[in-house]
Chain A
Amino acid sequence: QKEVEQNSGPLSVPEGAIASLNCTYSDRGSQSFFWYRQYSGKSPELIMSIYSNGDKEDGRFTAQLNKASQYVSLLIRDSQPSDSATYLCAVGDSNYQLIWGAGTKLIIKP
């Protein structure tokens, strides 16, 4: 059974601080890794993808992947109240099938 685990939170972070979201996965054959943001009542929105070990930066977002530890993380710098949402981790296999975590609720406090 392929699984993706996330802490459900809520994770509370002061405005302007760094928010760190974590995800572990069970399938060592996983090849692609994604972070989605989901506002309440809305559909998931892709914010980051990463395919190889290391860091990938896009604006205030940095995705980190460690395949040996089966661990992927998302850092949000200079957190804003508009970053308050649920962040879903999704892990893809060789057939482009995504396995989803249940999401971490992030709250940015002004």
Chain B
Amino acid sequence: DTGVSQDPRHKITKRGQNVTFRCDPISEHNRLYWYRQTLGQGPEFLTYFQNEAQLEKSRLLSDRFSAERPKGSFSTLEIQRTEQGDSAMYLCASTASGGYTFGSGTRLTVV
């Protein structure tokens, strides 16, 4: 296993379009996290899964955001009706316990 994989690496979309990102965690990690990061800030928590169960969502997460982890393996994050303020790096991380391992991230630009 080579680590946490995220796809795509970059996404440019027009305002109002829907986008979906994928994360493949390290196989033995049962916890998976989604974060958003903008320039000069630390990662901002969005949501996390333990196996297939979504256990917590940030109250900052609007109803345009949804995440799934259908079989407790890979996860998807969808943003509907994108806005320019959604432009950021979207990071996925996984862990069994302790420190998180991050993927390379998906950089979203909404134009």
Spell out A's residues near B (CB within 8 Å): 4, 8, 32, 34, 41-46, 49, 88, 90, 92, 96-98, 100-103
Contact = CB atoms under 8 A, between A and B. Distances in A.
A43 B103 contact: yes
Given A46-B100, A49-B98, A96-B31, A101 B42 contact: yes
B41 interface: yes
Given A43-B104, A96-B31, A103 B42 contact: yes
Which 3 A-B pairs give the minimum distances between C-beta atoms? Answer: A100-B42, A43-B102, A46-B99
Given A90-B100, A103-B40, 5 more contacts: A44-B43, A97-B45, A100-B42, A100-B43, A103-B41
Contacts of B87: none
Contacts, number: 46
Interface string B23-41: 0000000010000000011
B43 A96 contact: no
B103 A88 contact: no
Nearest to B99: A46
A88 B41 CA distance: 10
A96 B33 CA distance: 11
